[in-house]
Chain A
Amino acid sequence: KQEVTQIPAALSVPEGENLVLNCSFTDSAIYNLQWFRQDPGKGLTSLLLIQSSQREQTSGRLNASLDKSSGRSTLYIAASQPGDSATYLCAVVGSSGGGADGLTFGKGTHLIIQP
């Protein structure tokens, strides 16, 4: 069974710092990997989707990388801002279950950017 782990569970940094969030998964047979953001009391917002054949994706100040062979992905946030404060979740879609796996989620990294 696929397991997704996110480290650290919580992170607090001053505004302006560059930071890296980590995601690891146990089964490298994935179809894609997605990073989401969740604000308190809200749904999830998709940030970046990386197909299994890709190495990275970029959107504005966000860059996500994927190393499928080692079972790792990182989300890099440049020049962090207080508005980046949220919980960030990583999720993988397994390629061996014919879709039955859906997305397997990590438990998230709770990020606080101090003004």
Chain B
Amino acid sequence: NAGVTQTPKFQVLKTGQSMTLQCAQDMNHEYMSWYRQDPGMGLRLIHYSVGAGITDQGEVPNGYNVSRSTTEDFPLRLLSAAPSQTSVYFCASSERTGGVFPGELFFGEGSRLTVL
């Protein structure tokens, strides 16, 4: 039972490079989201999706793009990496409850990104 799978686990980028963090879930969850975790800041929501074809911004969306073409996949794209995007990124999914609200969240293991 794979749950939420994130790749890559580690990545080093140079300033200005672009890349995509992959997230896949096999639980048929409608709700998927991306968080970044920084020391002293806690986890902050970047983007989320309540179903295929629907995405929306969270608290810190600048510099990131997402798409949701299938229920299973929710990739996060860094358009032009900056040192401020050095962080640990977590993807999470859940069933949708009460309309659009997330229920119990299941997290991936994280992707550790360093931007030089």
Per the 8 Å Cβ criterion, residues 1-57 of A in contact with B are: 31-32, 34, 36, 41-46, 49
Is B53 part of the contact surface with A, judged by Cβ < 8 Å?
no
Chain A residues with a Cβ closer than 8 Å to the other chain, count: 25
**CB < 8 Å A-B pair total:** 71
Closest CB in chain B relative to A62 CB, distance in Å: 14
B103 touches A102 (CB 8 A): no
**Looking at chain B's contact residues, is the secondary structure mostly helix, strand, loop, or mixed?**
strand
State the CA gap A98–B108 with chains docked (Å).
24
A residues near B57, Cβ cutoff 8 Å:
100
Closest CB in chain B relative to A101 CB, distance in Å: 8
Is A112 part of the contact surface with B, judged by Cβ < 8 Å?
no
Known contacts A43-B90, A103-B45, then 8 further A-B pairs from the complex at CB < 8 Å, ordered by chain A residue: A31-B101, A42-B109, A43-B108, A46-B104, A49-B103, A91-B43, A100-B57, A105-B42
Is A93 part of the contact surface with B, judged by Cβ < 8 Å?
yes
A residues near B102, Cβ cutoff 8 Å:
93, 99, 102-103
